[in-house]
Amino acid sequence: MGRFILRRTGVLILTALCLTFIVFLLTNLYPNLEKLAKSEGNFRMADHEVATFLSNNGYRSALDPDFLAKVRSGQATDEEIEAGINTGFDARIFRNYGEWLGIVPGYVIEGTDGTTRARCATPGMDIADAPSFCGILQGYWGWSTVFKDEAGSIIGTRLALTGKLMFWVMLLMVPSALIIGVLAGMREGSATDRSLSTVSITTTATPEYVSGVLFIAVFASSAVGLKWFKGTATSAMDNATFENFFLPVLTIALYGMGYIARMTRASMAEVMTAHYVRTARLKGVSFRNIVLKHALRNALIAPFTVIMLQFPWLLNGVVIVETLFNYKGFGWVLVQAAGNNDIELLMGVSVVSVFVVLVTQLISDIGYVYLNPRISVT
C-alpha cells in the first residue's frame, strides 16, 4: 500500500505541474494581459504603451529601446509598430512560471520610466527588503489587482466560507443519498424503488439555478406566503443559522443527491443478485443481515468514488448558488477574479481547485482498494 500511495502521489504531482502550467499559459495570453494593463493604467493606452507596461512589470520580454524611441518620436509607421510588438508567444512565460512556483528568483526590473519594480516587493515594501524567491512554494500567492490584498489571504478567507457550506451540504447529501439508494436497490422493481428513483432523477435533472429560484420564491418571499427562510445567505457568512443557511445547503445537496442515490441503487441492485447473496438467503440468513453484513460494503464501492468526486464539484460548482444567495465564498471569488482579469488571484483559485481534485482522486483510489480487496496494488 505504501508503494502504491507513493506512485500515485508522484503521478499527481506531475499532473499538478502540467495543469497549473496550462492554466498559467492561458491566463497570461496577450489579450488577457492587455486587459490587465488597461485596467491598471487607462483604457486609452496605445499598443506600445501596453507593451511597455507589461515589460516594465515582468509579464513580457523587454521591448527594443531603439524601437520605443522611434515610436515615441512619431517616426514609426503603424506597420512597424505592429511588427515590433510581440502579441504572440513569449518565451519569458517559462521564467514567469518558475517565478510563480518559487523556484526562480523574482524579477527586479528598472522600467523605461525610471522606476525599479520587483516581483517579491509588495506595495509599500522597500525593494531592498524584498526576498529573492516568492512563489507558491514560499507561501506567496501573488497580489490581487482587484482586492488590493495578497491573493493567499483572500483565498483562505473565502475558502473557509465555502468549506462551511460544503460541510453541511455533504452532511445532508451523502447520508440521504445512500439511504435512498440502498432502499431502492434492496428490492429492484418494487413500488419503493420506482418512487425513490423518480425522486432521484427529478432532483438530478433540476439545475441549481432553477431549484434555488423556486425555493426562494416559495419559502423566502411573500409570493406564496411561506416566509420560513431568508432568501440571502449574506448574514450566514458571519453567523450561520437554520433560517439563513438552509436554502443554499438544500439547493446544492438536492442536485448531487440524486446522482449518488442512482449510483448506489444500481450498485445495490447488482449486489443483491450476486451468488453469495442468494446462498445466504438459501441458508436462512435474515434479509436485514444480508443487506448489512454481506451486500452493503460491496454496494458502496462505486458510490464511494462518486462521493469523493463531489468535493471538486462542490468547490467550483457552488458558483451559481453563491451568486444566487449572495454568499461570498470561493465560487464568488472565482467569478470576481475571472470577470476582472485578476490574474494572480485566478491562478491561486486554480491551484486550490487542482489540489482538491488530485487529493480527492488519491483518496478515492485508496478507498477503492480498501473496499475492494480483489484490487491488487503491487
DSSP codes of every residue in 303-340: HHHHHHHHHHHHHHHTHHHHHHTT--SHHHHHHHHHHT
> What is the rounded distance in angstroms from the CA atom of residue 19 to the CA atom of residue 10?
14
Cβ neighbours around 247 below 10 Å, total: 26
CA 260, distance to chain mean position in Å, is 20
The region of weakest confidence among 304-313, 324-333, 368-377 is 368-377
pLDDT of 174: 87
In this prediction, residues 217-245 reach a mean pLDDT of: 80
Map out the domains of the chain as residue ranges: 30-148, 153-371
3-state class (DSSP) for residue 252: helix
Over pLDDT 90: what percentage of the chain? Answer: 5
Quick one: cell of 368? 477503492
Mean pLDDT for the stretch of residues 218-226: 73
Q: Where are the alpha helices (DSSP H) in 187-286?
A: 191-205, 208-219, 242-272, 275-282
Alpha-carbon dihedral of residues 97, 154, 144, 21, nearest 10 degrees? Answer: 20
The rounded mean pLDDT for the chain is: 83
Whether the pLDDT of residue 220 is over 70: the answer is yes
317: pLDDT strictly greater than 70: no
Residue 263 pLDDT > 70, yes or no?
yes
Set of cell numbers at residue 136: 507558491
Give the pLDDT of residue 21: 92
DSSP state of 366: H
In this structure, which amino acid lies at residue 207? P
Binned at pLDDT 50, 70 and 90, residue 322 comes out as confident
- The per-residue pLDDT for range 341-367, each reduced to its tens digit, is 888 898 888 888 888 888 887 877 777
The alpha carbon torsion through 109, 110, 115, 120 (nearest 10 deg) reads 20
Give the pLDDT of residue 140: 87
pLDDT confidence of residue 237: 85
Give the pLDDT band of residue 97 (cuts 50, 70, 90): very high
Least confident residue range of 181-190, 193-202, 281-290 = 281-290
Question: 12-21, 233-242, 277-286, 363-372: lowest mean pLDDT where?
Answer: 363-372
Task: Read off the pLDDT of residues 18-44 as tens digits, 9 standing for 90 and up.
Answer: 988 998 998 888 988 888 888 888 888
pTM: 0.78
Distance between CA 334 and CA 67 in Å, rounded?
Answer: 39
| Strand blocks (E) in the chain | 108-110, 116-118, 143-144, 149-150
Euclidean distance between CA atoms 222 and 245, whole angstroms = 19
Q: For the ranges 103-112, 123-132, 168-177, which has the lowest average pLDDT?
A: 123-132
pLDDT per residue as tens digits for the range 138-186: 888 888 888 888 888 899 998 899 888 888 998 998 888 888 888 888 7
Number of helices (H), then strands (E), in the chain: 17, 4
Provide the 8-state DSSP code for 294: I
Report whether pLDDT(259) > 60: yes
Partners of 118 in the beta sheet?
108
Class of domain 153-371: mainly alpha
pLDDT at 94: 93
Q: What's the average model confidence in pLDDT over 238-254?
A: 87
d(CA 135, CA 355): 16
